[in-house]
Amino acid sequence: MENWEDVARSWLGSEYDVATRTEVSSLFNTDRKELKDRFYRILEFGTGGLRGIMGAGTNRMNRYVVAMATQGLSNYLKTVFPDGQIKTVISFDSRNNSREFAKVTSDVFMANGIYVYLFDNIRPTPELSFAIRRLHCNAGVMITASHNPKQYNGYKVFWQDGAQITAPHDKNIIEEVRKITSPSQVEWGDGLNYPELIGPDIDAEYLNSILSLTLSPDSVKRHNDLKIVYTPLHGTGVYLVPRALAQIGFTKIYHVPDQDVSDGNFPTVASPNPEEHSALKMAIDRGEEVGADVVLASDPDGDRVGAAVRDDKGDFYLLNGNQAASILTKYMLERWKELGKLSDKAYTVKTIVTTGLMKDIADSYHVKMYNVLTGFKYIAQVVRENEGKGMTFICGGEESNGFNAGEFVRDKDSVITCSLFAECAAWLADSGRTVYGFLQDIYKEYGYYRESLMSVYKTGEEGASKIGEMMNNFRSNPPVELAGSKVVKVIDYLEPEKTGLPKSNVLQFVSENGSVVSVRPSGTEPKIKFYLGIRGNDADKRIRELTAQFGESE
């Protein structure tokens, strides 16, 4: 990239709108460090798309960066699908500027001769996946930064199977996007073309498909008064999760009114991440108020779920993503077995940083468990590769509160997950059990698993360099012990010939007593992540020791 100051000055030109020129001009006079951070690089279009802080600049999310990415994607689509009408679907969440970025994406697609279906209002990411498949589209774009803080927005690209892009399309799209370095290369259109708006009809088909996943309808009828509190955390789930729960048969669904408001500033939470206890505080308070059995929360784009259940003392206990995925996997496999649906063609999927408990559960039912790279797109890739082979996908999960079942959505899905979770609670109530008690029973059967995630933030140009140095250091000087237990295996996922998986910047350290630590840079935020996993009665103590050990790696 040319000198960042020259690039910044170019954004004072007439091809940029007045607000953008004013923002950049002000930074020249007031904050040159911030100015450099905005222009020292082009916001990287990664293997899933774009994600970054909003604002003017090449290293920020704004209408010009979105338009250039869409032009590159359009060029690639026209190369891959040279014959016939190319069709796309666009959806967006409640974040600030999401609607505007969706319109820019739509305008550029249409200016390139690409047909566009655009949702009439905010919708969850999994419904976009469903719509791509239902409308037989070539690709889709979701404007979202998932559960990131309010300053962020993003641009997720999906392929014709409804999954986020994987090889070879991901790298090929990146190459095309990199060729677009100026708004002057973008086909902006004349504003006279309009997309086809979609919404209610797709909602109905999507909800009916979710209804087809029901495994315990009689249990729901017997316990339809199970008290469920649900919050969309100001996001897209508000439209569909309560409807899905009601359609299955639940009658006591309580809202958190202040959080039903779609607001990209997420005013009631520090972070709209359902993995964090603080994000569920208002919902748990509401649960105490109404005497709820279960509290559910989805993130802004409606793909992740946080769940809190009553423990043996009657207090709310926030499940982590590993626990929730294990509970749902156990529930689904048990019901499939009881219903006579299990066969040697059934399978489940998890990611390499997700608890080994899921595999233990699958093994006990003689069901194959695939282990894939981090990212739900790799779970979806297994489903795609097994199509036409007589194989049946039961469910898949990842530690970061993502879960899915069935094959009509190819991404993690909060609407499906909330529905299955509530149904599981009703099924357990038939025998006087609770979700928390079910988790304890799982631990008794398979052993006590304890997982934790630790993140170290390194922001800006210097931070990106520091994260790279940390990964290099772990490769050249791997730990010899994990909480006092000797490291017996180091797995480097940059060596696909050894892992059997695509190349990925992930390291795993396995100790003699079965402790596993996975290290990887985040693909969406300026941080390095440490996934800690322990099995055994002393797991809580060993997790604390591992946290202290890797906390010193900064």
My answer on whether 146 and 245 are in the same domain is no
Q: How does pLDDT run across 141-160, given as a tens digit for each residue?
A: 999 999 999 999 999 999 99
Q: How does pLDDT run across 410-419, given as a tens digit for each residue?
A: 999 999 999 9
My answer on whether 407 and 460 are in the same domain is no
My answer on whether 425 and 296 are in the same domain is yes
> For residues 172 and 241, what is the distance between their CA atoms, to the nearest angstrom?
36
pLDDT of 115 strictly over 60: yes
Token pair recorded at residue 545: 């020791």
Whether residue 356 is contained in a domain is answered as yes
Asked if residues 486 and 480 have their Cβ atoms less than 8 Å apart, the reply is yes
Pairing of strands 227-231, 294-298: parallel
My answer on whether 426 and 456 are in the same domain is no
> For residues 156 and 105, what is the distance between their CA atoms, to the nearest angstrom?
12
Asked if residues 99 and 92 have their Cβ atoms less than 8 Å apart, the reply is yes
Residues found in the chain: 554
C-alpha distance from residue 426 to each of 134, 278, 422, 538 (Å): 31, 27, 6, 32
> For residues 492 and 505, what is the distance between their CA atoms, to the nearest angstrom?
8
My answer on whether 299 and 405 are in the same domain is yes
C-alpha distance from residue 400 to each of 65, 201, 299, 319 (Å): 28, 31, 12, 11
Asked if residues 504 and 485 have their Cβ atoms less than 8 Å apart, the reply is no
DSSP helix/strand/coil, 530: strand
Of 422, 446, 470, the last residue of a domain is: 446
Whether residue 421 is contained in a domain is answered as yes
Q: What is the CATH number of the domain that holds 543?
A: 3.30.310.50
At 209 the pLDDT is 98
DSSP helix/strand/coil, 389: coil
Q: How does pLDDT run across 186-237, given as a tens digit for each residue?
A: 999 888 889 999 999 999 999 999 999 999 999 999 999 999 999 999 999 9
Query: Between helices 32-39 and 18-30, what is the axis angle to 10°?
Result: 130
Q: How does pLDDT run across 481-519, given as a tens digit for each residue?
A: 998 899 999 999 999 999 999 999 999 999 998 889 999
Q: Kindly report the pTM of this predicted structure.
A: 0.95
At 526 the pLDDT is 81
Asked if residues 58 and 38 have their Cβ atoms less than 8 Å apart, the reply is yes
My answer on whether 147 and 242 are in the same domain is no
Q: Which residues of 400-428 are buried (b: 16+ CB within 10 A; e: fewer)?
A: bbbbbbbbbbbbbbbbbbbbbbbbbbbbb
My answer on whether 376 and 496 are in the same domain is no
> For residues 96 and 100, what is the distance between their CA atoms, to the nearest angstrom?
9
Whether residue 284 is contained in a domain is answered as yes
At 47 the pLDDT is 80
Q: What is the CATH number of the domain that holds 233?
A: 3.40.120.10
My answer on whether 190 and 295 are in the same domain is no
> For residues 308 and 285, what is the distance between their CA atoms, to the nearest angstrom?
11
The rounded mean pLDDT for the chain is: 95
Token pair recorded at residue 201: 């009809």
Whether residue 73 is contained in a domain is answered as yes
Q: How does pLDDT run across 7-49, given as a tens digit for each residue?
A: 999 999 999 999 999 999 999 999 999 999 999 999 988 888 9
- Within 90-232, residue ranges assigned H as helices are 98-111, 125-134, 169-178, 200-211, 217-222
Give CA 292 to chain center in angstroms: 27
Of 152, 167, 198, the last residue of a domain is: 198
At 529 the pLDDT is 93
At 552 the pLDDT is 66
- Compare 553 and 186 and report the one with higher pLDDT: 186
pLDDT of 458 strictly over 90: no
Q: How confident is the model at residue 294 (pLDDT cuts 50, 70, 90)?
A: very high
Structural domain for 75, as ranges: 41-198
Token pair recorded at residue 510: 């396995």
C-alpha distance from residue 110 to each of 2, 62, 79, 180, 188 (Å): 31, 19, 16, 18, 9
At 531 the pLDDT is 96
Whether residue 427 is contained in a domain is answered as yes
Q: Which residue has the tokens 């979609």?
A: 198
Whether residue 18 is contained in a domain is answered as no
My answer on whether 182 and 239 are in the same domain is no
At 553 the pLDDT is 64
Token pair recorded at residue 174: 């990146």
My answer on whether 433 and 455 are in the same domain is no
Of 412, 446, 480, the last residue of a domain is: 446
Q: Has 146 been annotated as catalytic?
A: yes
Please give the share of the chain, as a percent, with pLDDT higher than 90: 90
My answer on whether 519 and 395 are in the same domain is no
Asked if residues 250 and 276 have their Cβ atoms less than 8 Å apart, the reply is no
Please identify which of the residues 129, 146, 419, 511 carries the catalytic annotation.
146
Whether residue 363 is contained in a domain is answered as yes
At 240 the pLDDT is 98
My answer on whether 170 and 268 are in the same domain is no
How many domains would you assign to the chain?
3
Asked if residues 412 and 398 have their Cβ atoms less than 8 Å apart, the reply is yes
Whether residue 36 is contained in a domain is answered as no
Q: How confident is the model at residue 1 (pLDDT cuts 50, 70, 90)?
A: low
